[in-house]
Amino acid sequence: MKILVVGGGGREHAIIKSLKKNKLIETVYALPGNGGISSDAICVDIGAKDIDGIVNFATENMVDYAVVAPDDPLVLGAVDALEAQGIPCFGPNKAAAIIEGSKAFAKELMKKHSIPTARYETFDNLDDALKYLEEITYPTVIKADGLALGKGVIIAGNKAEAETALKSMMTDKIFGESGSRVIIEEFLEGPEVSVLAFTDGHTVVPMISSMDHKRACDNDEGLNTGGMGTVAPNPYYTEKIQEICMKEIFIPTVEAMKSDGRVFKGCLYFGLMITNDGPKVIEYNCRFGDPETQVVLPLLKTDLFTVMQAVTEERLVDLNVEFSSDSACCVIMASKGYPEKYDKGYKITIPKHLKDNVYVAGAQRCGEDLLTAGGRVLGVVATADNLEDAIKQSYSFVEEISFDNAYYRHDIGKRALARLKKGE
Ligand code: AMP
Ligand code: GLY
């Protein structure tokens, strides 16, 4: 079989490595992939947002199945366009991807179906939004409605900061058209948990939970990033919390989408906060998380392609999806300066024995060499039968990998480990 994977980051590398365990899969194309992915797939220089290019490539090369991984092509309707040509896909269609594409849609859905989330108001007009700032307490959270590369959230400590944030989004358009409409929502407190779930629109199968580390520096200091590391499972996500989530959040969300005529098929990402009032939804994503996928898929015992096909064919109910009881840790090695300015083009050295522990996010091949080409360069992953060993192991692998200006956090999993020890 020939499979096409749209995207080119660490998440896509993890998906491709998992897919290749299935012997039915002979060829994997990555559009566009990256220099590291090129060791595992045929990379084709077609951008993830080039829907016509993707569809033409898929039909010309008689691709049997497509996995659309990033948010942009999903929201732009890549799945609809591929399916129109008879190519089965993993990923939601455009109508369902709106759950991530519009935060206002997601909030409205939750309100209508009583799914627990932060209280909020939506505004299309700056004056109304500014007036609303008089009525609320601080800190408050201001979010651009549309996709903003994961950056469209500003936490404002007081009214003046909130005014500045609103003006920068709605007037100065720092997040482009994404900020024409904004949401102002209640500030929630508590540990965050990411839960990715397979769903075919009827059945929902949560994967193992994980914890992202979004800030650039140790002790959760510095700027927000795309994620500097992850661990799985997340110790804050107890069995009791899982039961509540299933009953109050996961099943109601899938049912709500179905009743709205937007059957969601693919991976639905629940960004949760475990508050004193119970778990609440911070955000939905219509796709696998990055770098959550890098710790979740190595713990999936059932064959990934088998699960994906069951999702596409809406027969997930018949499949027993199993996860290992091990733990996993992913440490992201980035280029110094990320998420702001950083240099590119440094040679990356990865010992051969670590090939299966590295998911490359931002690198380009230059002859035999692999050179840095992005802010987040690669993720280093280890699994073990306990979290402490998984963390130790991934950091010992990090020590063996080198490139100039490499930067990584030293405390990935520290909070999770402290929580586990407290619970013992
Ligand atoms: P997002 O881009 O939606 O993932 O938001 C980025 C981060 O902002 C989240 O991971 C949270 O840490 C924080 N955040 C978002 N919404 C809220 C909220 N209502 N209360 C507190 N923190 C929030
Ligand atoms: N790790 C957060 C995300 O994928 O959006």
pLDDT in tens, the chain (424 residues): 999 999 999 999 999 999 999 999 999 999 999 999 999 999 999 999 999 999 999 999 999 999 999 999 999 999 999 999 999 999 999 999 999 999 899 999 999 999 999 999 999 999 999 999 999 999 999 998 887 766 788 899 999 999 999 998 998 888 877 778 899 999 999 999 999 999 999 999 999 999 999 999 999 999 889 899 999 999 999 999 999 999 999 999 999 999 999 999 999 999 999 999 999 999 999 999 999 999 999 999 999 999 999 999 999 999 999 999 999 999 999 999 999 999 999 999 999 999 999 999 999 999 999 999 999 999 999 999 999 999 999 999 999 999 999 999 999 999 999 999 987 6
Assigned domain for 96 exists: no
Same domain (yes/no): 46, 139: no
Assigned domain for 103 exists: no
Which CATH number fits the domain that encloses residue 73? 3.40.50.20
* Domain edge (last residue) among 180, 215, 248: 180
* Domain edge (last residue) among 35, 67, 91: 91
Assigned domain for 118 exists: no
- The pLDDT, as a whole number, for residue 248 is 98
- Ligand 1 closest atom vs CA 214: 10
- Ligand 2 closest atom vs CA 150: 5
Same domain (yes/no): 314, 337: no
CA distance 204 to 343: 42
Same domain (yes/no): 215, 287: yes
Maximal CA-CA distance, the chain: 61
Same domain (yes/no): 168, 130: yes
- In a mutational test of the pocket of ligand 2, which residue from 287, 292, 296, 330 has the highest number of ligand atoms less than 8 Å from its CB? 292
Same domain (yes/no): 286, 237: yes
The whole domain housing 226 covers 192-318
- The pLDDT, as a whole number, for residue 180 is 84
Ligand 1 pocket check for 156: Cβ under 6 Å: no
Backbone angles phi, psi at 297, to 5 degrees: -65, -35
| Pair of tokens at residue 163 | 């005014």
Which CATH number fits the domain that encloses residue 401? 3.90.600.10
Same domain (yes/no): 395, 416: yes
Same domain (yes/no): 267, 298: yes
* Domain edge (last residue) among 283, 318, 353: 318
- The pLDDT, as a whole number, for residue 406 is 97
Ligand 1 pocket check for 115: Cβ under 6 Å: no
Give the Å distance between the CA of 199 and the centre of ligand 2: 18
- In a mutational test of the pocket of ligand 2, which residue from 194, 195, 213, 272 has the highest number of ligand atoms less than 8 Å from its CB? 194
Q: Cα–chain-centroid distance for residue 293? A: 7
Same domain (yes/no): 198, 309: yes
Give the Å distance between the CA of 153 and the centre of ligand 1: 7
Shortest CA distance to 407 belongs to which of 377, 367, 362, 380?
Answer: 377
User: For the chain, what is the domain count?
Assistant: 4
- In a mutational test of the pocket of ligand 2, which residue from 290, 293, 294, 330 has the highest number of ligand atoms less than 8 Å from its CB? 290
Same domain (yes/no): 230, 273: yes
CA-nearest residue, atom 5 of ligand 2: 289
- The pLDDT, as a whole number, for residue 135 is 93
Which CATH number fits the domain that encloses residue 211? 3.30.470.20
DSSP β-ladder status, 327-335 and 406-407: antiparallel
Which CATH number fits the domain that encloses residue 144? 3.30.1490.20
- Ligand 1 closest atom vs CA 150: 2
Same domain (yes/no): 196, 279: yes
State how far the alpha carbon of 223 is from the alpha carbons of 6, 319, 342, 377, in Å: 28, 41, 14, 17
Ligand 1 pocket check for 292: Cβ under 6 Å: no
Same domain (yes/no): 85, 161: no
DSSP secondary-structure letter at 405?
T
- The pLDDT, as a whole number, for residue 377 is 98
Assigned domain for 389 exists: yes
CA distance 205 to 239: 15
Ligand 1 pocket check for 138: Cβ under 6 Å: no
Residues with CB under 6 A from ligand 2: 150, 212, 227, 285, 289-290, 292
Any idea which ligand is nearest the CA of 287? 2
Q: In what order do the strands lie in the sheet with 266-275?
A: 204-206, 192-199, 266-275, 278-285
Assigned domain for 101 exists: no
- CA angle, 391 as apex, 397 and 401 as ends, to 5°? 15
- C-alpha distance across the termini of the chain, in Å: 47
Give the Å distance between the CA of 127 and the centre of ligand 2: 32
Same domain (yes/no): 375, 281: no
